[in-house]
Amino acid sequence: MKIKLIGFVKRYKTFLILFAVNLLLLIFAPDLGTKAVSITQNNLWEMLSVIPPIFILLGLLDVWVKKETMVKYMGEGSGLIGILIAFFLGSAAAGPLYAAFPVAGILLKKGSKISNVLIFIGAWSTMKIPLLMFETNALGLEFSMLRLGMNIFGILIISFVIDNLLKEKDRVELCKLAEDLL
């Protein structure tokens, strides 16, 4: 029982510390504590509205898309097709960046090339279509296209550099972690 409690505390250390800080703020600085609890509650509701649909989609992706298909279109020999699919998936996605990481894990588990997974994460974080439309209206087409071009170029460079710097044991460990977590 004691070992389970220690494991629980280690696993949820950050949550427990933040809970204690919120509690102390409520006691010693009620105005600030109330605001902190309100912000925490809003963030919790936002996460609870995003995470379940993402995991449902992940489950469907895991069941519906065969590993062979994923390897063919996004695996080691996928070339330009894999890059374009990764850019499309990332830019068409909705939701906050933290939702991209479980999807990236499924992509790795299914045999996607690491550089394609990195491209997917980069596109999710910087190239969402609604963001581009808003940016074009607010800042102009020229600025948006310049930023988009720089992002595409930057994402490609970063993903290929990281992919080439990874040692084989790191690749194997990364894919094993993705399989173990999902």
Cα dihedral 103, 109, 114, 118, rounded to 10, equals 10
Measured CA to CA, the distance from residue 150 to residue 46 in angstroms comes to 31
Residue-level pLDDT, tens digit, the chain, 182 residues: 677 888 888 889 998 998 999 999 999 999 999 999 999 899 889 888 888 888 888 888 778 888 888 889 999 888 999 999 999 999 988 788 888 998 999 899 888 999 999 999 999 999 988 888 999 999 999 999 999 999 999 999 999 999 999 999 998 888 888 887 76
Q: How much is the pLDDT for 86?
A: 95
Structure tokens given for 179: 């399989």
- pLDDT, tens only, 8-40: 888 899 989 989 999 999 999 999 999 999 998
The answer to whether residues 62 and 103 touch, using CB atoms and an 8 Å cutoff, is no
Cα dihedral 140, 141, 144, 149, rounded to 10, equals -150
The answer to whether residues 33 and 26 touch, using CB atoms and an 8 Å cutoff, is yes
Domain ranges of the chain: 1-51, 65-181
